[in-house]
Each structure stands twice: as structure tokens, then as C-alpha cells.
Structure 1
Amino acid sequence: MKLYRRYILYIGICLGLLVSPFCTGSAEAKDFVVVIDAGHGGHDPGAIGKISKEKNINLNVALKLGKQIQKNCPDVKVIYTRNRDVFIPLDRRAEIANNAKADLFISIHTNALAKNRTAQGASTWTLGLAKSDANLEVAKRENSVILYESDYKTRYAGFNPNSAESYIIFEFMQDKYMSQSVHLASLVQKHFRHTCKRNDRGVHQAGFLVLKASAMPSILVELGFISTPEEERYLNTEAGTTSLANGIFRAFLTYKREQEIRLNGNSNTILPEDVPEPAMQEEKDSTTAEAEKKETTHSEPKQAPQRPQQAEKAATAQTERSGIVFKIQILTSSRPLAKNDKRLKGLKDVDYYKEGGLYKYTYGASPDYNKVLRTKRSITAQFKDAFIIAFKNGEKTNVNAAINEFKKNRNK
């Protein structure tokens, strides 16, 4: 009888733990898994510059990116295909990601041109058929790593990385993760452009074997050109590698947050507020950053942006009633926008607030989070990078805390 009571008590404790607020979540919950692949390594140096080797640049940025994610995202599991100078076969890299059931695969590389040609800037690639000879050459260079493997003809079914005919297989491939991969690649390029101030060489497709074998959204980043002396020096500085890792990290945060909102209606991933949101920021003109800072800090706008009295009055009334107002942030600008500015895409009742010397434009103010969420969905086609923010008593506040308070008040 005593043993039976102990058994019942044990079952009760287990059930209590399952519903305890200290649990990490439901049975379906799992960490977001990202696999970071530092290209080349060991006896495969990758492209070789005058003062460095590609394999070391790739690893440096990969480790910095992983540390950023681990430091700021406790719900993300980071896996490296390599975290030191070792050779990893190309198919093994994708296998690591597949075995981990990764949500993302990010392969980091450094570009190069032959015959003393020079170029500058970063690009991001997804799986597909190369649309130009230049794109095909990038794929050939990255795929040639398999030549370091003694059994590559068997392991890769006779694929010849230097033969254009081998790449015909990519013409008939149907990648179900293509749209997600392209979107992540676009976010990376936006952050390279705005956060890192890099020359944007765009998003491209080519037949990369390492992406072909991965069963999740996957991108391959080319950080810059080791064959260009100025670029090589930048890629070997602490500031340069830190900036590039930070750009990829911010793109990752934006992507992860969007995926969570799409699946769950909300997200615990917070985008950094200490600098402009590069994914939302519009292209700057040729004026220097110092001039922009001076203008936004010390002078008032010559032409005030649209601030409709009706929307402002409604938002004020909502704040007085509930203390919380949700809004959709649609874009950020270093300068004020006229009410008919084409970047507002015809939206009426657009508001703005100033933060860090920047003008951040919002739409759809309401104390009802669900209403704002529906509004956000209705403008997704026009503003795909829009996201929801919250104000409490006129001050910006943590959106997740505001959502929790909204739900608590609604259930009363």
C-alpha cells in the first residue's frame, strides 16, 4: 500500500512539472537550429591572397557569427561544421546539417578573381542554375574542393566541378526551400549594405554541391574578394570580420523573427534598437554618415512628414484607455519624408517617432494587438519587412511584454 502511494505521488509530481510555468514549453517546442559552415579548411586553403588564406577568414567570421547568436539567442542551437583548421568533405558538411534537422544552413566563403582582376563587395548565393558564366565560375571554384577527396568520383556520382556539362543537373532541380533561402539571402545583402557599408553585389543562384545536399533553407555567403588587395586587408582586420559577422547575425535575427511571427503570430526575438534597422532602412544618398548625424542631431526637418491629426488623436485616446498602443513599423529614414513620398506607397494616416536621430514610420495604431496583426498582414505585399512595436503611456516598450499584458487584460 505504501509503495502504491509513493507511485501515485511520483506520477503527481511528474504531471505537475509538465504544467509548471518553469517548463521550457510544449512537447512540440524545440530549439531553433542553425548550422554555420566555414568553407574550406585543413589541406584545402580555398582562395589564396597576398597575405592570407580564405579558410582562415571564413573560420574567423563563422566563429564570430556563432558567438553572437549564442550570446543573444538562448533558444538557438549553433552547430559548426568545423570550429578549427580541419578538412571536412563537402557532402559531410550538408550531412551535419541534415542530421541535426537544422532550420538554417549558412556557408561562409571568400571570393576571388583570376588574372589579377579586381572587384569589391559581398554577395549571397542560393541553389539554382547559374545564369551567367561569371556565376558558373564561382560555383566551379567552390565545388572544386571535392578534388581534395580521393574518392570524389564515387561520392559525387561522377560530378566534374570543372565541366559545364555537369551543372545541367541544377536546371531540373526543384528546391522547396528556394523562396526562404532567397529571402534570407536578400536580408543578408541588406545588412551588408546598411550595417556593414559594403558594396552590394546582390543575390545570385548557382549550382553549389554543399547547398544541393542540404534539406533546409540554405545560403552561401561570399564576404569579399581576397584577390583585391584593399579587400584582403579589410577581411583580415578585427573591425572588418566583426562587422561582417554582425551583418549576417542581424539578417539571421530578422529572418528568425519573421518565421516565428508567421508560424505563431508573435515572436520572442527582439531586433536590436541601438542602430538603424537595416532591413527597413531605405537607401541613403551620397552624403557622409557624419553629415547625416549632424543634420538629424542639430537641425529640425525642413519639411515635416505626414502626421495626420485624426490618427494622432485616436492613438492618444487609445493610450489613455489602455496604456498600450501597438503600431506597425514600416520603414526607417535618416531624413523626414513628405506625406506623398513614394516610399510610403500611398498609405494614409502614417505616423512617425524619432529614435537615435532617425525617423521611424508607423501605421495602424491600436490597443488591440490582433487588429494590428491583421493590418500588418494586409500590407505585407507592400512592406515585407514591417514589424509590430508597442508604446506604453507614450513611451516605446518591449513588444512581447505588451502582448502579454494585452492578453492578460483581454482575459479579465
Structure 2
Amino acid sequence: MEERLIKNYTEILEHELVPAMGCTEPIAIAYAAASARKLLSEEVKHIDLCCSGNIIKNVKAVTVPNSGGQKGMQVAAILGVLGGDADKKLEVLSTVTDADREKCKSLVNTGFCKVGFEEDVPKLYIRVEVSGENHKVRLDIADQHSNIVLMEKDGEVLYKEGGEDKQDVLSTGGDRSLMSLKGIIEYADTVNLDEVAPTLQRQIDMNMAISQEGLDNAWGARVGKTILETWGHDVKSCACARAAAGSDARMSGCPLPVVINSGSGNQGITVSMPVVEYAKSLEVSKEKLYRSLIVSNLVSVYIKHYIGALSAFCGAVSASCGAGAGITYMCGGDYHKIGKTISNTLGNVGGIVCDGAKPSCAAKIASSVHAAILAHSMSMKDQGFNGGEGIVDEDIENTIKNIGYIGKVGMLSTDREILNVMTDQVDVDSCL
């Protein structure tokens, strides 16, 4: 494999597999608020927060991590201002104290933070304006959860993406246009594991810890616990339960960090936990586990690259495609079988919609992982869905592009209507 391609895939892994605390959308709001407060350099008297519809959708019903059970955009912004550490980026709220949580509760309903909806902006967009006694700061985030694109203080532009001091996240995060399924498999086969093992082991350790927390305690809807209590403890059940349990805890405010994938903690848990469970059951080497995780992570990133950061397409599906591909690779599957696993998964659960971050995400993860395991079992027997059947194409690369088009373009109106329903902007009865 060409050295430039090896380097590119390594950069993608290092850029994507980073720790984050809780659901990444409220964390992004908190990061923006904490960064704005740091720039203000005085006590914040008022916050104005405007976000894209997809940010609103993903923050509305999820518990803000380390908040003591509080929910919502205002809570995320206020906690970011009160106790957030901007230098920690997606772990910004790890420094929040009991005093910060109590003060946040007292400020939420006072008008201290006003929230608005911003139209005609990227799907992932946050604008925070913080005002003090003497100064005012505006800070914008777009496209990626920690990608600051604008900083202003007292009307003066201090930084704007595209300017001479531009720090392009993607310039150091790898070129997704160079990705292919064959390239991912070749990279997994040949990369020197010393270059990526620390990143992969951190993913295993952190995601296993929050998964275990979800199994040990009563978080969320207890999807993971329910699976083990009712389905048994074979590897298929454990793979679904482990992934769901991590989401159970994460969606309900567990402060443990998660190593994310495609900007999502849920997707980071989904690509890793099923692969780890199969590695334990099959008693494969640590090297085989790492190489399988490379396939899982990169397949998920590859599919999500076409869909975009946030959409009405449930990211648990693309992440489960990655997990299924990683399991097939672990079991000796070649390019053809790995491609079949992805096609079989998309042909089954490609229609799951995202209606925001919340406890039911754990169930969607369990369903998607279950579909991916079925897809893996079918592909190992050379069984699956054929080209021309629905969105499935003979060429797996085209199937992936098909689902990318559906998620990015075809579901735009679906995304808007989901948001309308969630924010009570439509009289459903009158439309039926």
C-alpha cells in the first residue's frame, strides 16, 4: 500500500477516535460557551444561543453530562460558562462542580440564557454570544463539534475560518475522498500496529467502562440489562447488550468519557463493543482485535462521510455496518464477504430515522447491531441481497454511495418534519 494512503488512514483514525463526555451535541454547545467565556475575560451576564435544527433535535431530550440530571440547550450553555474548561474540548464539562450545577438550576428559568433556531446554516451549527459588563463575544461552531469557524470580540473579528490563520481540522484529519472498502481492508492488513494501538486500546478501555456502567446500574431504559436478562449470554446477545448498555448510560448523563466515531459517542460505542465481544468469544489475538477494530471504525467513517455529520439517518446503522464488517474480517472474511455484510445490513435496517438523542437510541443500537450480526452470518454463507434489490448495488462502493445520497439528500424533508413534530410546530391530526 502506498505510504501516503497509509498515512491518510492513520490520520483519519487519530482524528476520529477522540474522547468525549456525554452526548456530543450538548457538549459542543458547552464547548462553544466555555470558549466564548474564556475570550470574554470577565463575568458573563447574559448568553444568547442560536443553533441549527439538528443540534436542537439532539439536545432536546438528552441529559447533559455531569449536570446532575438536567436537560436542554440552556443547561449545556450555562454549565459551559460556569464551570467548563474549553481546553478539554469535548470533555469540557468534566470540571463542573456541585456549586456549578446548583447555580445552573437557579439560572435556567431567569432569562440568563436565551435560545433561538437558526435557519439556512450547516446541519451542525452553533452560535454563542456572551455579554459581560464591558465586552461582548460571539463564537460560531460549524460542521464538526469542536470546529470553531468565527470568533468576534466587541465587533472585531479575531478569527474567521478561511482567513490567513485558518486551522483546517480536515487538513490534519485525513482526506475521506481517498477512502475505499478495498483500501480500508488493505490498510487493516498491513499497517504497523504500533502507530494506532494506543488509540484503539483507549477506545476499548473507555467504551468498555461506560458499557459496564450501563450493565451494572439503572441508566436510561435499561436496554442492555434487559437484553442480557431475557436473551441470555451468548455472543450475539452480549454484543447487542454491550453496545446498548453504553448508550443507556451515556444518553442519561453518565459522566464517563467515550471514544467517539464520526463525531458521535453512540457510534463510537457501536463500532467497538460488538467487535470486542466477538474477540473474547473467539479468543483471537490482540493483534487480530486491533485490526478488526480498524475495519470497523473506518467502514463507519467511510459510510458517514457520504451522509454528513447530522441527518435524519440514524448513525447507529452506519456504525453497525462497521461493527459487522469488523466481525466478518475477524472471522476471515474477504473483501467480497465484508462487502456483503455491509449490503445485507443496509438492505435490512437502512430506514431507521434519527429523532434526536435520547434513551431510545440504545434500542436502535441493539436493533442495528442485531441486523449487522445477521448480515455477517449470511455473508459468511455467501448469502445476501443482490444488486438491483432496493438500494443495494452489485458494487458495494455504489451501495454505500446510494445510502449516502438517501441520508444526505433524500431525507432532508424528513429531517425537517421530524424537527417540526418534536417542537410542536405541526398539527399532526390535521395532516392525517
User: Shorter-chain TM-score category?
Assistant: under 0.3
TM-score, normalisation: structure 2: 0.23
TM-score, normalisation: structure 1: 0.24
Q: Choose between structure 1 and 2 for higher RCO, CA contacts under 8 A separated by at least 6 residues.
A: 2
Identify the structure with the greater helix proportion: 2
